[in-house]
Amino acid sequence: MFILETKGLNKTFETGQGTPQTVLKDVHLQVSKGEFVAIMGPSGSGKSTLLYTISGMDRMTSGSVIFKGQDISGLSERELAVLRLNQMGFIFQQMHLLKNLNIRDNIILSAYQAKIVNRRTINKRAAELMKKTGISALAERDITQVSGGQLQRAAICRSIINEPDILFGDEPTGALNSKAASEIMEILIDINQAGTTILLATHDAKVAAQAERVLYMLDGSITSEHRLGKLNRINGDLKEREEKLSAWLFQLGF
Ligand SMILES: Nc1ncnc2c1ncn2[C@@H]1O[C@H](COP(=O)(O)OP(=O)(O)OP(=O)(O)O)[C@@H](O)[C@H]1O
């Protein structure tokens, strides 16, 4: 069963200089429930635009996006906002945490807004997530008083507090050193193994090698895909996966 499907998805930006730019071209994508999919491709190939369009943050020009059996192209802005709040999680670099709130309040804010469960449950869930991601001691800190890796952990807690069906990530480890990046990936894999579907864009083969399937985008289209299968954490086959992925990317000229 597909949790997410796009059919003939196109996105054209009006650039203001008279020449519209078509950034997504006839994208057909199918993501199964519980899958972990990475999107790679050169800078400017349309990875971020794809994530924004699929999640309804940006309007598609034509085509359709079917999420959990529902075509979301006809939904109003308000309906899309509710869908995103309740069923989707985002770890995007542009979506900063709020400066006037401490770490805990940043994490719980969207859950209070969603009102799916009561505040007591939300607070309990936030405490569990902070514990799991190792930031419990930082709950009261201002977001300017923690490291980039710690901030990213808080962003992850915030993105999953409403227990989304799907988690979108745009370079979720992009700004981090390699130790912090691999710790974040551990957390994402835990989330995926607990059942959340993950779709993330990355330039980093080490990150993508942990996904089940890697898609390659070129000039607005998905031109190729590489199936790696589920990561076996116990046997630690990451190095081999990374080598296979790098060889594939090399063939594609990446
Ligand atoms: N709001 C916008 N208006 C006009 N053009 C845009 C807009 N957003 C993105 N683009 C253009 O769309 C193309 C794809 O951009 P996008 O950010 O999706 O690529 P990307 O593959 O995510 O790149 P990167 O790896 O550098 O993040 C680029 O040429 C970009 O300039």
What pLDDT score was predicted for residue 15?
Answer: 80
232: pLDDT confidence band, cut at 50, 70 and 90?
A: confident
18: pLDDT confidence band, cut at 50, 70 and 90?
A: confident
Write the pLDDT tens digit of every residue in 157-205. Answer: 999 998 899 999 999 888 788 888 888 898 899 999 999 999 999 999 9
Q: Which two tokens stand for residue 4?
A: 């997410």
Torsion sign (Cα): 31, 35, 40, 46: positive
What pLDDT score was predicted for residue 168?
Answer: 96
Q: Please report, for residues 18, 120, 191, 252, the alpha-carbon distance to residue 54 in angstroms, rounded to integers and kept in the order given.
A: 26, 32, 21, 25
Distance of alpha carbon 28 from alpha carbon 64, whole angstroms: 9
> Of 172, 171, 162, 166, which is closest to residue 122 (Cα–Cα)?
162
Q: Is the CB of 15 under 6 A from ligand 1?
A: yes
Q: Is the CB of 202 under 6 A from ligand 1?
A: no
**Where are the chain's structural domains?**
2-251
Q: Which CATH superfamily is domain 2-251 in?
A: P-loop containing nucleotide triphosphate hydrolases (3.40.50.300)
φ, ψ for residue 246 (rounded to 5)? -65, -40
Whether the per-residue pLDDT at 14 is higher than 70: the answer is yes
- CB 132, CB 186: distance < 8 Å: no
Pick the residue whose CA is nearest to atom 12 on ligand 1.
23
Q: Which amino acid is at 172?
A: P
